[in-house]
Amino acid sequence: MSVLNNIQRNSKIRSRCNRRQLRQSSGSVLILAMVVIGLLAVSLLIGYSYGGLFFEHNRLQASANEMALAAARKLNDKDRIGQMNNMIARNRQIVFSGRQQLDECKEKYPGIAWLAEDLLDESRDSAKTLEAQRKQLSIVAKKEARLAMEKKFEEINKTYAMYLPWMKVEEPLLAGWQCGRVVNTESNVEVLKNIPELESFDLEQNYASTAGMKLYKHDIDAKLPSDDSDLTFKISALSAPVMKTVAPARIILNANYDTVIGDNLPSACRVKVWLPVGTGLGPNASSKMSCIGAASATGGSTQQ
Q: How many CB atoms lie within 10 A of CB 244?
A: 8
Comparing CA positions, the residue from 162, 169, 174 lying closest to residue 278 is: 169
Question: DSSP secondary-structure letter at 267?
Answer: -
Per-residue pLDDT of the chain (304 residues; tens, 9 = 90+): 455 555 555 555 555 555 555 455 555 656 666 666 766 655 555 555 555 567 777 888 999 999 999 999 999 999 999 999 999 999 999 999 999 999 999 899 888 889 999 999 999 999 999 999 999 999 999 999 999 999 999 988 877 766 556 567 778 889 999 999 999 999 999 988 888 999 999 989 999 988 778 899 999 999 999 899 999 999 999 999 988 899 999 999 999 999 998 889 999 999 999 988 776 555 555 678 889 999 999 999 876 6
* E strand segments, 222-266: 234-235, 250-252, 257-259
Contact 173, 275 (CB under 8 A): yes
Does pTM top 0.95 for this prediction?
Answer: no
φ and ψ at residue 295, rounded to 5 degrees: -150, 150
Give residues with Cβ within 8 angstroms of 236, minimum separation 6. 81, 84, 85, 181, 187, 218, 219, 260, 264, 265, 266, 267
- The domain locations on the chain are 48-296
Are the C-beta atoms of residues 216 and 187 closer than 8 Å to each other? yes
DSSP per-residue codes, 93-153: HHHHHHHHHHHHHHHH-GGGHHHHHHHHHHHHHHHHHHHHHHHHHHHHHHHHHHHHHHHHH
Q: Are 171 and 245 in contact (CB under 8 A)?
A: no
Q: Are strands 268-279 and 173-182 parallel, antiparallel or unpaired?
A: antiparallel
CA distances from 178 to 68, 197, 246, 267 (A): 9, 39, 24, 11
- Tell me the pLDDT tens digit for each residue of 162-185: 655 656 777 888 999 999 999 999
